[in-house]
Amino acid sequence: MKSRYRAVVIGGGVVGASVLYHLTRFGWSDVALIERAELTAGSTWHAAAGFHALNADPNVAALQDYTINLYREIEAESGQDIGLHMTGGVNIASDPARWEWLKSAWAVFQSVGIETARLVTPDEIKEICPIVDVTGVLGGLHDSNEGHLDPYGTTHAYAGAAKKRGADIILRNRVVELKARADGSWDVVTEQGTIVAEHVVNAGGLWAKQLGRMAGVDLPVTPMEHHYFITEDIPEIAALDREIGIAVDLDGFSYLRQERKGVLLGVYEQNPRHWNMDGAPWDYGIELIPEDIDRISPELAKAHERFPCLASAGIRKWVNGAFTFTPDGNPIVGPVRGLRNYWVACGVMAGFSQGGGVGKSLAEWMIFGEPQADIFGMDIARYGAFAANREYLRQTTRQFYSRRFVMTFPNERLPAGRPLKRPGAYDGMTAAGCEWTASWGLEIPAYFAPMGFAENTTLRRSNAFEIVRDEALQVRRAAGLVDISAYARYAVSGPGAGAWLDRLLACRLPKPGQARLAPMLGHDGRLKGDLTVFNWGGGGYWQMGSYYLREFHMRWFESHAAAGVTVTDLSDTMSGFLLTGPNARKILERTTHQDVSGAALPFMACGAFDIGMVQARVARLSIAGELGFEISCPVTMHASLRETLLAAGEDLGLAEIGYHALNALRLEKGFGIWSREFTQGYTPGQAGLDRFIAFDKGDFIGRAAALKERKAGDTPQCLVTLEVDAIDADAGGFEPVWNQGRRVGFVTSGGYGHAVGKSLALALVDRDFAGEGTALSVHIVGEERPTRVIAASPYDPSGKAMRQ
């Protein structure tokens, strides 16, 4: 053990070993892994060790595909047998909605370039897994790139390959303390002495919680119990001359694979149990939790129905082991805001599906400054401090676990951890019929419905379709009022504020009393944000963006901190409403003594106004594409502002609307949003944001890369608007776009444009197929439908409405 390393990875499971390997693969050899016991001690040793690429987040699915394709490489490089069984696997559907969902999932696989998947019939499922009873089965999704392996051998293969590249493996040496040093490095205090590490990686698995608290951070991870059993030899298996494929009975909550001449069967029970929520005891190692068969008996009964040979099979071994879970089931990866050079790779529940992708992405981040892929779905910044609250974590992880194989519909609003944060006018909006959804712990309005209304969950248009239509059309014909508490607000102040923003943002800064759309780039020229910057005058600025990106953006701002600049997150203290529609100005005029005419407050202007008794900040813009005013106020005045505006608009057709209608309105304008049209995986040229970049204003972050893209000419892909020949369902995102059987792009978002009477989608497609009128096709709920490229902004293409 040396006294100093460039990076120390804490934790000897498959994830820690993968991070170590990838650090060495990308060029860092002065690295070490420290493990309190032996490699695999914790969750890894008892893992069922199956792997598959299917994930609800397509970007995570792509990294899982990377993980699977890496296995033969690390086996060859290390010389360590990993016990690879590439059997293929099939997800089985016996419910019509589930079958539609699998067909949709197959289409998404195509979008992310995973072409080993195919839809299969019940007879084909029987061929893949001969012991399955296909009674009631409608079909399945088969992927030949699935299988299982030896968890011990795989972990040692990662570690062995890393050692060959110069890494050290330090075993039987627990980390007892972490101390931040003034230069950003860390004292890693172990039982055998102190190591100075420039970077520390928490890959602690069951002990991640404790390792986080050593550094002063409470991570949103917690262990939960998970059961599987291994049978004695089964005659039906022994009689086969080949290994059966993995079978996942999604509607029965179980998975099965071959183990020797028997099977391994695991369940995701509907009554899950947490285990040591604050982390495993330090002396816990190669141990198991006593099985609780009564608790999982309902799922076992379903498994016996689906795999009848289990009824006569002897049980050779029960395994009830602990795995760490996050609220949404995906890992937490990346740098922790406020902790210099402290990184996490925790909560990797599916370590043998995701471990390679996690290691790759984190190593890229540490060495090159950014991961190659957009991994926001795994980024620790997708959570705020609220997510580590014990009760919130208990509810959300329990919900995720119990729904591991339960289909979640895109319009479903799950109850765990809610309501947590509520806008100031929550009670008034609830009384008005608001149906709520949530973003980053905050309740936000989906739509307003009659009392007693219940939306049916579906992959197709729900019974809320007409409610949303009426809201959208009311905005177009009169006016709508939208709660914009879910807009993040950041105040930038100090003598260096303007210069700092000028370097941070790719746009030209607005003059006092004006606002501007503000792309923000990473050093590699890819997007970091699609913000709006406001110059209130007197050296005071605001930036506004998506509420759920607060931790992500504050981490970025703080990583580029400068003297004389203060950035303050106002999102929990400021709130507001968007007033938008043809009558918006008439309504606003009734509430203020100040001039809000088009001459006094033109498009993209901003200023301080008295709205009723509320002192507010008002800006002339609207994502709905209509005349609009974004009105921000203190949270404590949110309810008063709502009442003032509703009273002023009562006879002018003002209606409260939710974000479902707002989404439909912005699609009609072709306006992109973050996580859909704009992500950190795209460049401004791809996303169409290059027109907002001031290339000639001087240096800014990402300028060199953005200039290089501009000089190279058109990007290979660009955003287009599609009109879809839909029946009763609309595109949602990540569906593949085809031209005569060739995949030429994918949908970024979609929905129904009620004012134009068309099913619309925004899509990123190859430029050769981006011309207006080009005939294409797109998968909608697994069914290929005709579509064509139409002009951007099918509603009011000149933009006259929002500029009036």
- The whole-angstrom separation of Cα 604 and Cα 612 is 22
Residue 60 has pLDDT above 90, yes or no: no
The C-alpha angle 371, 408, 661, rounded to 5 degrees, equals 85
* Predicted local distance difference test score (pLDDT) of residue 285: 81
Residue 516 has pLDDT above 80, yes or no: yes
Among 186, 191, 184, which Cα is nearest to 170's? 191
DSSP 638: H
Q: Which of 49-63, 121-135, 635-649 has the lowest mean pLDDT?
A: 49-63
- The whole-angstrom separation of Cα 25 and Cα 738 is 37
**Quick check: 61 and 350 in contact, CB under 8 A?**
no
**Quick check: 500 and 565 in contact, CB under 8 A?**
yes
User: 3-state secondary structure string, 378-410?
Assistant: HEHHHCCHHHHCHHHHHHHHHHHHHCCCCCCCC
DSSP 271: S
**Quick check: 93 and 248 in contact, CB under 8 A?**
no
Q: Which of 284-288, 639-643, 724-728 has the lowest mean pLDDT?
A: 284-288
Residue 204 has pLDDT above 80, yes or no: yes
User: For 629-641, what is the mean pLDDT?
Assistant: 98
The whole-angstrom distance between residue 452's C-alpha and the CA centroid of its chain comes to 32
Is 737 exposed, middle or buried (CB count within 10 Å of its CB: 0-12, 13-18, 19+)? buried
> What mean pLDDT, rounded, does the chain reach?
96
Residue 591 CA: distances (Å) to CA of 641, 642, 797: 10, 11, 31
3-state secondary structure of 221: coil
- The whole-angstrom separation of Cα 555 and Cα 384 is 11
The tens digit of pLDDT for each residue in 256-294 reads: 999 999 999 999 999 999 999 999 999 998 899 999 999
The tens digit of pLDDT for each residue in 462-507 reads: 999 999 999 999 999 999 999 999 999 999 999 999 999 999 999 9
User: For 445-473, what is the mean pLDDT?
Assistant: 97
Better-scored residue on pLDDT, 62 or 207 = 207
**14-25 vs 351-368: helix crossing angle, rounded to 10:** 40
Cis upstream peptide for 419 (omega within 30°): yes
Residue 54 has pLDDT above 80, yes or no: no
Domains of the chain in start order, with CATH, are 4-332+342-365 (3.50.50.60), 716-804 (2.40.30.110)
- The whole-angstrom separation of Cα 680 and Cα 528 is 5
* Predicted local distance difference test score (pLDDT) of residue 6: 98
3-state secondary structure of 302: helix
* Predicted local distance difference test score (pLDDT) of residue 340: 97
* Predicted local distance difference test score (pLDDT) of residue 585: 98
Contacts for 707 with CB less than 8 Å, ≥ 6 apart: 695
**Quick check: 631 and 578 in contact, CB under 8 A?**
yes
**Quick check: 617 and 536 in contact, CB under 8 A?**
yes
Answer yes or no: pTM beyond 0.85. yes
Q: What percent of the chain has pLDDT over 70?
A: 100
The tens digit of pLDDT for each residue in 521-566 reads: 999 999 999 999 999 999 999 999 999 999 999 999 999 999 999 9
* Predicted local distance difference test score (pLDDT) of residue 542: 98
* Predicted local distance difference test score (pLDDT) of residue 53: 80
Among 456, 419, 378, which Cα is nearest to 728's? 456
- The whole-angstrom separation of Cα 530 and Cα 684 is 10
* Predicted local distance difference test score (pLDDT) of residue 407: 83
Sign of CA dihedral 311, 317, 322, 328: negative
- The whole-angstrom separation of Cα 438 and Cα 428 is 17
**Quick check: 357 and 18 in contact, CB under 8 A?**
no
* Predicted local distance difference test score (pLDDT) of residue 455: 97
Contacts for 780 with CB less than 8 Å, ≥ 6 apart: 724, 726, 729, 730, 731, 735
The C-alpha angle 661, 664, 669, rounded to 5 degrees, equals 130
Please name the residue ranges forming H helices in 270-370: 297-306, 351-368
3-state secondary structure of 524: coil
Please list the residues that pair with 482 across neighbouring strands.
578
Confidence band of 792 (pLDDT split at 50, 70, 90): very high
The tens digit of pLDDT for each residue in 571-618 reads: 999 999 999 999 999 999 999 999 999 999 999 999 999 999 999 999
The tens digit of pLDDT for each residue in 104-135 reads: 999 988 888 888 999 999 999 999 999 999 99
**Quick check: 324 and 346 in contact, CB under 8 A?**
yes
**Quick check: 688 and 676 in contact, CB under 8 A?**
no
User: For 383-389, what is the mean pLDDT?
Assistant: 97
Residue 8 CA: distances (Å) to CA of 158, 337, 341, 358, 649: 16, 19, 11, 16, 61
DSSP 605: B
Residue 55 CA: distances (Å) to CA of 64, 112, 344, 350, 351: 8, 11, 21, 11, 13
